[in-house]
């Protein structure tokens, strides 16, 4: 679970160095932070709101900042509102952290042979292979499905990674499997009921069940919030692109008219 955010970033880096699903990735990363904090029992989800259980640092700078932002305001934020916050710097910070760890490297490239652009190269092939193996295990049904798999499948689906990684007709079965895992792992209510069932006389099992229930609730809330946020981002990007195209068309039309 601790690699969830980094896995999403690594899986989003395309072979040409471009960040796939770039407009949506920040929401997936926010969702991953919420899920990880729930797994660490720092937060829980109650009636759709994030409740901080433990303010102690988690030992991860980005995760600690996320946790602090959850209890700064007076009223506990809803999971949806928290994940949907605009955090334009978040993807950059994850990329910079992976670069500092020697996992990826920033390189200057040329698009269309002459336009300078930034691209990312994965230099730790083993680290990328591990992230891909986790998603492949979900996509091909090669392993059991627990909360880490549900979170990865759900957040990857929310930000649109499966079509990039498993494209075309050949990837349809893999995409379908990831969607099923993201949707069909049991509800938070069912897991909460399981907590009550094992609570009597089995404290270790009760603790594990409580953590699973919190992660399930966080995963549900994070995935739904990520989907909503990703949809808004996509609509906004499409709108901006349409306006940009219309502006250029208008400029082009006016310029052409001047030659008549």
Instruction: Count structural domains, the chain.
Output: 1
Q: What is the pLDDT of residue 17?
A: 93
Query: pLDDT (tens digit, 9 = 90+) per residue, 133-164?
Result: 999 999 998 777 888 888 899 899 999 999 99
Instruction: Name the DSSP class of 112.
Output: T
**Given a cut of 50, is residue 199 above it in pLDDT?**
no
φ/ψ of 167, rounded to 5, equals -80, 165
Give the pLDDT mean for 231-235: 57
**What is the spatial distance between Cα 242 and Cα 236, in angstroms, rounded to a whole number?**
10
Give 144 or 170, the one with higher predicted confidence.
170
**What is the spatial distance between Cα 255 and Cα 257, in angstroms, rounded to a whole number?**
5
Range of lowest pLDDT (63-77, 101-115, 239-253): 239-253
- Model confidence at 200, pLDDT cuts 50, 70, 90, reads very low
Give the pLDDT mean for 58-79: 90
C-alpha separations of 1 from 5, 71, 115, 182, 240 in Å: 9, 23, 39, 15, 35
Give the pLDDT mean for 88-109: 95
Domain range for 43 is: 4-258
Domain with 172 in it: what CATH number?
1.10.3630.10
Two tokens at 81?
């509102």
Give 198 or 25, the one with higher predicted confidence.
25
Give 230 or 243, the one with higher predicted confidence.
243
DSSP, collapsed to helix, strand or coil, labels residue 202 as coil
Rg (CA), the chain: 21
Is residue 17 within 8 A of residue 120, CB to CB? The reply is yes
User: What's the pTM value of the predicted model, to 2 decimals?
Assistant: 0.77
């Amino acid at each position: 679970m601790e690699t969830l955010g980094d896995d999403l970033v690594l899986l989003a880096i395309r072979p040409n160095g471009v960040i796939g699903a770039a407009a949506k990735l920040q929401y997936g990363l926010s969702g991953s932070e919420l899920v990880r904090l729930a797994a660490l029992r720092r937060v829980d989800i109650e009636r759709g709101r994030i409740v901080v259980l433990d303010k102690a640092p988690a030992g991860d700078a980005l995760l600690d900042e996320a946790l602090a932002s959850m209890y700064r305001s007076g009223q506990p934020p809803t999971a949806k509102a928290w994940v949907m916050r605009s955090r334009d710097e978040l993807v950059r910070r994850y990329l910079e952290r992976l670069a500092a760890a020697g996992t990826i490297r920033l390189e200057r490239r040329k698009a269309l042979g002459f336009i300078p652009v930034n691209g990312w190269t994965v230099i730790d092939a083993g680290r990328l292979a591990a992230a891909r193996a986790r998603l492949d295990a979900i996509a091909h049904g090669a392993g059991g499905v627990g909360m880490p798999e549900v979170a990865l499948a759900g957040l990857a689906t929310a930000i649109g990674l499966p079509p990039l990684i498993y494209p075309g007709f050949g990837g349809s079965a893999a995409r379908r499997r990831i969607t099923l895992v993201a949707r069909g792992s049991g509800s938070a209510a069912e897991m909460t009921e399981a907590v009550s069932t094992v609570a009597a006389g089995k404290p270790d099992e009760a603790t594990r069940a409580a953590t699973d229930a919190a992660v399930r609730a966080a995963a549900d809330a994070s995935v739904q919030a990520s989907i909503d946020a990703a949809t808004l981002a996509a609509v906004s990007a499409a709108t901006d692109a349409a306006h940009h195209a219309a502006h250029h068309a208008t400029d082009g039309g006016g310029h052409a008219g001047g030659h008549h």
